């Protein structure tokens, strides 16, 4: 049976820029702001007053004005992203000065340091709409979830989307192997095992192997198979800030690290073969996953046992149906020649994935939006 997507529809709810403009003559305050910029991975431009060259004030992604420089910044063009920064917690005139320069925020250090680092990093990375993040989970072992995850990421990259594929299953053998990139240069999960706090999206992207037009985070070949939940959170958050598409290949069990990954997904795809035992197993997987992720949908995979079809499979599990995963007889032979799943644009798997992304974007009106349940949501 040929693969297809249902017509119920998928309702779907980039590059780094320069660092901030810092305006101050306060040496101690400048040292603090430079330290925070370094923590955010941003290179600031520093002036004692508003930049003399035309447009310098307006072009900066954000402006940090020290208390000492507020008077010198009166009369500058009103713009978003201006912050008045100082240390005096009890200054009664700070709000007047903020109004005079059109500041959106008044920040007191060191109390606001963590928040300010995040804002500087967002501005430097040009953060906009977060990536559409899709997780793929097998209803049972050998269901083809990793194959679909690879094909979705490869299809997204081939269409010009910014794409990242993340392997969240440490016992899956390494998704880079499916892409023929097990020897590719770049960082793997063990390199991020102790990450916490904020991880720069651009730094993450630059550090990963580039395979078939996308970035891939897989596992190493050593024995380390446990990643702290805070590291998973940092990596997924950085990947989402880049925009575009993130595809996560998930294991069937849910531990603390997998729960962190599920919490950052927009949509989960549960791949279920068309047999009774697979449906029974998938019901248990779905029940566990939905404790963290509300929007989980079924991708059915034939051939089907007598009396079953893709809609029966979805109804038996109690989740919306995305569609039917098509068979691709030459898939293993293609991988032997270096062609990844979905790598043949004319193949049924690639067409399925292309239609999936097209439906998601058509429903949203533009790429990268958050996904909402089709047909009123999962029961």
* Tens of pLDDT, residues 264-288: 999 999 999 999 999 999 999 999 9
pLDDT value at 7 more than 60: no
For residues 260-293, one letter each, b for 16 or more C-beta atoms within 10 angstroms of the residue's C-beta and e for the rest, the string is bbbebbbbbbbbbbbbeebbebbbebbeebbebb
Number of residues assigned to the chain: 379
Nearest to 205 by CA among 116, 126, 260: 126
pLDDT of residue 362: 65
pLDDT digits (tens, 9 = 90+) for 191-211: 988 777 778 788 889 999 999
Under 8 Å CB-to-CB from 293, ≥6 apart: which residues? 135, 262, 263, 265, 268
Cα–Cα distance for residue pair 147/150, rounded to 1 Å: 5
Q: Which two tokens stand for residue 5?
A: 């997507």
pLDDT digits (tens, 9 = 90+) for 211-269: 999 999 998 777 666 789 999 999 998 899 888 999 999 999 999 999 999 999 999 99
Looking up tokens 């100082």 gives: 86
Average pLDDT over residues 60-87: 94
Nearest to 119 by CA among 41, 234, 58, 59: 41
pLDDT of residue 373: 34
Q: Which two tokens stand for residue 212?
A: 């078939």
Strands (E), 218-368: 245-250, 267-273, 296-301, 321-325
For residues 95-127, one letter each, b for 16 or more C-beta atoms within 10 angstroms of the residue's C-beta and e for the rest, the string is eebbeebbbebbbbbeebeeebbebbbbbbbbb
- CB of 374 within 8 A of CB of 21? no
Under 8 Å CB-to-CB from 334, ≥6 apart: which residues? 343, 344
pLDDT of residue 255: 92
pLDDT of residue 223: 62
88-97, 209-218, 335-344: which has the minimum mean pLDDT? 335-344
For the sheet with 296-301, list strands across it.
Answer: 4-5, 321-325, 296-301, 267-273, 132-138, 245-250, 163-167, 214-217, 210-211
pLDDT of residue 329: 76
Mean pLDDT of the chain: 86
pLDDT digits (tens, 9 = 90+) for 30-54: 999 999 998 887 889 999 998 876 6
Cα–Cα distance for residue pair 231/76, rounded to 1 Å: 42
- CB of 171 within 8 A of CB of 195? no
pLDDT value at 374 more than 80: no
Strands (E), the chain: 4-5, 21-23, 45-47, 63-66, 82-86, 105-108, 132-138, 163-167, 210-211, 214-217, 245-250, 267-273, 296-301, 321-325
Cα–Cα distance for residue pair 54/17, rounded to 1 Å: 19
Helix (H/G/I), strand (E/B), else coil: 298: strand
pLDDT digits (tens, 9 = 90+) for 293-326: 999 999 999 999 999 999 999 999 999 999 999 8
pLDDT of residue 315: 97
pLDDT digits (tens, 9 = 90+) for 49-64: 988 766 689 889 999 9
Cα–Cα distance for residue pair 317/139, rounded to 1 Å: 10
Cα–Cα distance for residue pair 191/368, rounded to 1 Å: 28
- DSSP-derived secondary structure letter, 375: G
pLDDT of residue 1: 38
pLDDT of residue 166: 97
pLDDT of residue 15: 41
Comparing 200 with 180, the larger pLDDT belongs to: 180
Q: Which two tokens stand for residue 103?
A: 């500041």
Cα–Cα distance for residue pair 198/178, rounded to 1 Å: 30
Cα–Cα distance for residue pair 226/232, rounded to 1 Å: 10
Both ends of the chain: CA-CA distance in Å? Answer: 28
Number of neighbouring beta carbons within 10 Å of residue 6: 20
pLDDT of residue 221: 72
Cα–Cα distance for residue pair 49/24, rounded to 1 Å: 7
Cα–Cα distance for residue pair 241/126, rounded to 1 Å: 9
pLDDT of residue 200: 77
- CB of 124 within 8 A of CB of 17? yes
Cα–Cα distance for residue pair 300/287, rounded to 1 Å: 17
pLDDT of residue 377: 33
pLDDT of residue 121: 83
């Amino acid at each position: 049976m040929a693969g297809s997507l249902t017509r119920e529809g998928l309702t779907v709810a980039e590059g780094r820029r320069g660092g901030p403009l810092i305006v101050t003559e306060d040496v101690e305050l400048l040292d603090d702001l430079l330290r925070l910029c370094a923590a955010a991975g941003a290179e600031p431009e520093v002036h004692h007053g508003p930049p003399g060259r035309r447009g310098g004030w307006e072009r900066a992604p954000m402006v940090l004005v020290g208390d000492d420089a507020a008077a010198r910044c009166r009369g500058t063009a009103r713009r978003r992203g201006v912050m008045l920064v100082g240390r005096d917690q009890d200054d009664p005139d700070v709000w007047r000065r903020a109004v005079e320069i059109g500041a959106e925020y008044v920040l007191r250090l060191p109390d606001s340091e963590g928040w300010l680092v995040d804002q500087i990093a967002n501005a430097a990375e040009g953060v906009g709409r977060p990536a559409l993040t899709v997780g793929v989970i097998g209803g049972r072992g050998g269901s083809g979830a990793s194959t679909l995850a690879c094909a979705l990421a490869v299809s997204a990259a081939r269409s010009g989307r910014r794409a990242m594929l993340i392997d969240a299953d440490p016992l899956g053998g390494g998704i880079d192997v499916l892409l023929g990139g097990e020897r590719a240069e770049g960082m793997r999960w063990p390199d991020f095992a102790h990450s916490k706090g904020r991880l720069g999206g651009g730094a993450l992207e630059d550090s990963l192997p580039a395979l078939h037009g996308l970035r891939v985070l897989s596992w190493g070949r050593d024995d380390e198979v446990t990643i702290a939940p805070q590291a998973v959170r940092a990596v997924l958050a950085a990947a989402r800030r880049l925009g575009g598409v993130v595809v996560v290949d998930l294991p069937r069990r849910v531990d603390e690290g997998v729960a962190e990954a599920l919490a950052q997904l927009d949509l989960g795809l549960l791949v279920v073969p068309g047999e009774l035992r697979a449906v029974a197993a998938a019901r248990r997987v779905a029940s566990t996953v939905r404790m963290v992720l509300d929007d989980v949908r079924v991708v059915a995979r034939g051939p089907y046992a007598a009396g079953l079809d893709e809609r029966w499979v979805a109804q038996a599990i109690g989740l919306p149906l995305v569609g039917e995963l098509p068979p691709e007889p030459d898939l293993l032979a293609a991988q032997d020649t270096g062609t990844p799943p979905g790598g043949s644009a004319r193949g049924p798997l690639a067409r399925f994935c292309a239609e999936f992304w097209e439906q998601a974007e058509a429903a949203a009106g533009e790429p990268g939006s958050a996904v909402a349940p089709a047909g009123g949501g999962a029961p």
